[in-house]
């Protein structure tokens, strides 16, 4: 059911717009960020938790059958000397960047999958801009969520 993946985006942006009108200035920005993390979390739970585990620690149920253990996603900042590498992680999730150049990539690529969902939604009308914004929005929310679960 493809639309179930799309609806949270609309709800989240409707919430941001509604609250943004009521709360001026920096508070609106804070809520925007919070809404983005929430959206990223729901994307994570439906698409990533099976392998990476409910808390991102690489212990999802599918992990047992994989030859390479899914990464512990709470340790990314530690690996990068305390700074969460947003652009790098975006590229890894989207699939522009190979994780393991010398072997098979077990981690699925998400950019193309999100593109096809966005295009299905656009239907007969060409909606390139919307599709691009949707794909970018989902991956950005995921990256923001991952940043929010980093181990101290």
Residue closer to ligand HEC (CB basis): 76 or 131: 76
Chain centre to alpha carbon of residue 128: 20
How many of the other CB atoms lie within 10 Å of CB of 5?
Answer: 19
**In whole angstroms, how close is the CB of 31 to ligand HEC at the nearest point?**
23
The number of beta carbons lying within 10 Å of the beta carbon of residue 30 is 11
The binding site for ligand HEC (CB under 6 A) comprises 47-48, 50-52, 62, 66, 68, 70-71, 73, 76, 79, 89, 92-93, 99-100, 105-108, 110, 142
Residue 31 or residue 42: which is nearer to ligand HEC going by CB? 42
Among 80, 103, 94, 75, CA closest to 138 = 94
Indicate the residue among 13 and 75 with the shorter CB distance to ligand HEC: 75
Minimum CB separation of residue 117 from ligand HEC in Å reads 13
Is 40 in contact with 141 (CB distance < 8 Å)?
yes
Select 28 or 150, whichever has its Cβ closest to ligand HEC.
Answer: 150
Structure tokens at 146: 């991952």
């Amino acid at each position: 059911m493809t639309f179930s993946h799309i609806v949270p985006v609309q709800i989240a942006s409707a919430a941001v717009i509604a609250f943004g009108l009521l709360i001026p200035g920096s508070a609106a920005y804070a809520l925007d960020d919070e809404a983005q993390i929430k959206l990223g979390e729901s994307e994570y739970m439906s698409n990533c938790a099976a392998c990476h585990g409910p808390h991102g620690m690489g212990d999802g149920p599918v992990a047992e059958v994989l030859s390479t253990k899914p990464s512990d996603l709470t340790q990314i900042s530690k690996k990068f000397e305390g700074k969460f590498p947003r652009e790098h992680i975006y590229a890894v999730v989207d699939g522009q960047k190979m994780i393991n150049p010398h072997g098979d990539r077990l981690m699925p690529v998400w950019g193309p999958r999100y593109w096809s969902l966005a295009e299905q939604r656009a239907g007969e009308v060409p909606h390139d801009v919307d599709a691009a914004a949707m794909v970018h929005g989902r991956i950005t929310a995921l990256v923001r969520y991952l940043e929010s679960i980093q181990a101290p």
